[in-house]
Structure 1
Amino acid sequence: MCKKPTEWEKAVEFHGHQCPGLAIGFKAAVTAREKMGVRFSADEEIVCVTENDACGVDAIQVLTGCSMGKGNLIYRGTGKMAFSFFNRKNGDSLRLMLKSFQGEMSREERQVYILNAPAVEIFNFMKPGFELPETARLFTSIVCEACGESAPEHKIRLQDGKKVCLDCFKDYGRGW
């Protein structure tokens, strides 16, 4: 008989390995579900704004149903280990900010601690300092007049009187 995988096992399978970072996102998702009374988001009922792009975000996706593709997982790159959850149905919101860890622990010990300690030992609880983001928007595609590839209109720039994509836009920067 096949054993149904636990939520932690599903998160590990999705992420590829166990680690303290995945445990942080797992604990944040479980805590948000408990505190806000929400379940897996089939559409955009639940929104998560993550302030980091680390391992924990994978657990957020698996447990909450928030994803970039649906538009209900939003990256706000402060670098902080913080997750803000919003419930579109009732307006409830919660920001979970990771507390600093005290004392020395191995990676394995830290992971076990995160998964088993009360959430109040792991996170500070507060209201997000920003409003609920709008629902995902659909944009018209524009063909770049330099390379011929399509991009959404909000990613098109005017350069020398031509509509160009960010790859062709000369002043876009050296980020890539």
Structure 2
Amino acid sequence: MCIEKTPWEQVIEFHGHTCAEIALGYRVAQIANRELGVSEIFEPLIKVTAYTHSCALDAFQIINRATYGRNYLFVVEQNIHSYVFQTNDRAEKLQITVNSEIIEKITEDVVSLSSRERQAKTIEAIKIILGTEEAQFCEIKHKA
């Protein structure tokens, strides 16, 4: 018997583990789909430009179906968590920038922590990412 996985489970399976940046990508990808009105699997493809290399990119590949292989996922390294989304059937672009306070909260140095402490920090970071009110989590701009 096949059990259909949730989008969150699909992202985690694709990425290989749970981490704060995969949660960040998951939330940004969901916001982008909502803002662009994309809901069905047969909707137009979404081009994504990311301004940092991070685990978040894996969430965009699953949720937004934007992959390197199809030339729908691009990275312009500027070391900021800002992402531009555009469907292939509209000129409108959507920019989502994660607030720097959120990034600071989730990027604490965990190298010197025990595995149990690292796990607790990861869970805490995911709760912050998924639980912060959207207005405090990111800035959303629609561009012509």
Distance 1:83 1:41, change over 3 A: farther
Contact 1:52 1:77 in 2 (8 A): yes
> By percentage of residues, which structure has more helix?
2
Query: Are positions 1:115 and 2:130 aligned together?
Result: yes
Aligned partner letter, 1:47: K
Gaps of 5+ in 1: 132-176
Higher RCO, 1 or 2 (CA under 8 Å, sep at least 6)? Answer: 2
Distance in 2 of aligned mates of 1:100 and 1:26: 17
Share of identical aligned residues, percent?
23
**8 Å contact from structure 1 (residues 22, 59) kept in 2:** yes
* TM-score where L is the length of structure 1: 0.64
Instruction: Give deviations 1:91-135, integer Å, cap 9, x for gaps.
Output: 22111111023686732111022123333221111246xx9xxxx
Cα distance in 2 for residues equivalent to 1:98 and 1:104: 12
Provide closer, same or farther for how the CA distance between residues 16 and 116 of structure 1 changes in structure 2, counting only shifts above 3 A: same
| SS class of match (1:54) | coil
Number of residue-to-residue matches in the alignment = 129
Partner of 2:83: 83
Q: Alpha-carbon deviation of 1:31?
A: 0.2
Q: Which runs of 5 or more structure 2 residues have no equivalent in the other structure?
A: 107-120
Q: In structure 2, what residue type is equivalent to 1:23?
A: A
Cα root mean square deviation, aligned? 2.5
Cα gap change, 1:71 to 1:41, in 2 (>3 Å): farther
Pairs within 5 Å for 1:10-159:
10-39=10-39, 45-101=45-101, 106-127=121-142
Tell whether the 8 Å contact from 1:46 to 1:72 is kept in structure 2 after alignment.
yes
- Look up the equivalent residue of 1:101 and give its one-letter code: E
Letter in 2 for 1:58: D
Larger radius of gyration: 1
CA 1:50–1:44: 2 relative to 1, 3 Å: farther
